[in-house]
Amino acid sequence: MGKTVVLVYSGGLDTTVCIPLLREEYGFEHVVTVTVDVGQPREDITDAGERAKILGTEHYAVDARAEFARDYCVPAVRANADYQGYPLSTAIARPLIASKAVEIAQRLRRVDAFAHGCTGKGNDQFRIEFMLRTLMPNVPIIAPMRERNMTRSEEIEYARARGVPIHQSSEKIWSIDENLWGRSIEGGRLEDPNYAPPEEIFQWTQSPLSAPDTPHILTLTFENGIPVALDGQPMEPFALIQHLNELAGQHGVGRIDMIEDRMIGLKVRENYECPAATVLITAHRALEALVCARDELRFKAQADRAWAELAYAGLWVDPFKESLEAFINKVQERVAGTVTLRLFKGSAVVIGRQSDWALYDESLASFDDKTAFDQSEMSGAVKAHGMPARLYYQLKRKHSS
């Protein structure tokens, strides 16, 4: 048997072009393709298998949907994971995809290299290679698109010249990545920040303009910061997220059009559809606001941001991430209760929240109750409020006159 390479294979343009490249330019006789199902459309998984068969690879398809929901999406909810307005859908899937490729590689008799289709301008090269090197540090990694500095148009021409089956064309050149937690669309005219995205790029979300004219009310139940039920019906994370994607998407919830700062410093225009992630993080934040003390919320916002930045970078096993999760997970012990939301014309608005751990007391907060809190006792506290600032202001005026 000749040299063997394990290719992290999505079935898309970049990874499909890698197959003949690995044979022609790198000398690998045995190409093993690994496609990991983290919630893509079923036809994408099927198409990837068919392309792999046409191109003569040893192909493996791994169903990791439930694991992705449980061990990646749920922690993202608990950390309110958001990077510059993006709920980290693509980012959190990459460590799992790479780890599954390693599992396949460890079952093979021989592996001379790993390969992936990431470009040199994107984030995924960091995320995938970090996990591959962490789990199998002695196996070299090849990145044909990056090493050969190929453009998307050049990839299309290369594929056409060799009869490689692809869906892209020079006219419809969208680059799409999809998993259970979200869908990203980039490339083509979308690279122009001033170009309005056409409706054709969206598949998960109805246009808010044509979404139902009647709002939809739903209630989510959380235990330990984990969504466990929808409208009182217990559900495992995978089924709940899947159902929310469909429900919220019908109401146009979860469209994101943003300028994103990539890891290497490039600003890029990105479009996302994240219906379930948008609803769940919105609800989770509302419940935390009800049960957490002010200083907890302030510190957790910092921890959440640091967690999201590590997850964005693909550093899933970083010690700092584990330390952050120790705090986050402790807080989640009290994040239990229900949150009611209204989905309407692209918005997901919290309209109710309830918890046995609520730090809210109606009698203390009410302007119509004077028995639980004697307002007259606040006079001294108000007089002392801001004393250093008042002294500073007086001194500043004195020295400037």
| Segment 152-185, tens digit of pLDDT | 888 888 888 888 887 754 555 678 899 999 999 9
Percent of all residues in the chain with a pLDDT value above 70, rounded to a whole number: 96
Catalytic residues: 14, 94, 124, 175
Q: What's the pLDDT tens digit per position in 61-94?
A: 999 999 999 999 999 999 999 999 999 999 999 9
Residue 153 confidence (pLDDT): 84
Across the range 112-127, mean pLDDT stands at 95
Asked if the model's pLDDT at residue 120 lies above 60, the reply is yes
Rounded to two decimals, what is the model's pTM? 0.91
Cα angle for residues 61, 121, 67 (degrees, 5° grid): 30
Provide the pairing of β-strand 30-37 with 58-63: parallel
Whether 7 and 102 have beta carbons less than 8 Å apart is answered as no
Q: What's the pLDDT tens digit per position in 344-382?
A: 999 999 999 999 999 987 766 666 666 677 788 888 889
Asked if the model's pLDDT at residue 235 lies above 70, the reply is yes
Q: How confident is the model at residue 220 (pLDDT cuts 50, 70, 90)?
A: very high
Whether 102 and 132 have beta carbons less than 8 Å apart is answered as yes
Cα–Cα distance, 108 to 122 (Å, whole number)? 30
Cα distance from N-terminal residue to C-terminal residue, the chain: 89
Range in 145-154, 157-166, 308-317 the model is least confident about: 157-166
Distance, C-alpha 117 to centroid of its chain = 20
Across the range 315-322, mean pLDDT stands at 97
Q: Which helix (H) or strand (E) holds 113?
A: strand 113-115
Structure tokens at 86: 């993006």
Q: Look up residue 232 and give its amino acid.
A: G
Computed over its alpha carbons, how large is the radius of gyration of the chain?
25
**Which domains can be identified in the chain, with CATH numbers?**
4-172 (3.40.50.620), 178-354 (3.90.1260.10), 362-400 (no CATH)
Burial label for 345, CB within 10 Å (0-12, 13-18, 19+), is middle
Asked if the model's pLDDT at residue 7 lies above 60, the reply is yes
DSSP line for 45-77: HHHHHHHHHHTT-EEEEEE-HHHHIIIIIHHHH
**Which residues sit opposite 348 in a β-bridge?**
343
Look over the chain and give the mean of its residue pLDDT values, rounded to a whole number: 94
Contacts 24+ apart (CB under 8 A), 18-24: 18/115, 18/116, 18/117, 18/144, 18/145, 19/52, 19/55, 19/57, 19/164, 20/55, 20/158, 20/162, 20/164, 21/144, 21/148, 21/158, 22/115, 22/142, 22/144
Residue 142 confidence (pLDDT): 97
Whether 46 and 188 have beta carbons less than 8 Å apart is answered as no
Cα–Cα distance, 275 to 348 (Å, whole number)? 9
Percent of all residues in the chain with a pLDDT value above 90, rounded to a whole number: 84
Going through 262-391 in order, the beta strands assigned E by DSSP cover 267-273, 337-344, 347-354
Q: How confident is the model at residue 1 (pLDDT cuts 50, 70, 90)?
A: low
Residue 368 confidence (pLDDT): 63
